[in-house]
Amino acid sequence: AQKITQTQPGMFVQEKEAVTLDCTYDTSDPSYGLFWYKQPSSGEMIFLIYQGSYDQQNATEGRYSLNFQKARKSANLVISASQLGDSAMYFCAMRESWMDSSYKLIFGSGTRLLVRP
């Protein structure tokens, strides 16, 4: 079964507007972490934001915020005031249980965001 689901293969947004990229996850582990990465055309993976399963507040990092709805198992990324440089692939990822020493990240299939001028 898919552990991380990103249902939007592609999205468009007008420059300076906000956009929400969806991510749902599946886990029975009470302790987990959720991540968003940006991958520009160069291929590098750029860490954007992290949300822990026990965090009470939604994570924010500059123009990025994570809309964490634990009961719905969703962790949507909100980008405010989109810029042309935000055009890229965006990946949601999950890391389960700190007791698992692998700390491996499981990634979704990604959403390609295109910012229109």
Partner 1 sequence: SQTIHQWPATLVQPVGSPLSLECTVEGTSNPNLYWYRQAAGRGLQLLFYSVGIGQISSEVPQNLSASRPQDRQFILSSKKLLLSDSGFYLCAWQYLEVGTTEAFFGQGTRLTVV
Among 66, 77, 91, 115, binds partner 1 (CB under 8 A): 91
Question: Within the chain, what is the greatest distance between any pair of CA atoms?
Answer: 46
96 token code pair: 């389960």
Among 69, 104, 114, 116, binds partner 1 (CB under 8 A): 104
Q: How much of the chain is helix, strand and coil, in % rounded to 5? A: 5, 50, 45
- 69 vs 72: CA distance, rounded Å: 5
Among 50, 67, 73, 78, binds partner 1 (CB under 8 A): 50
Show the binding pattern over residues 69-88: x = contacts partner 1 (CB under 8 A), - = does not. --------------------
Q: Does 11 bind partner 1 (CB under 8 A)?
A: no
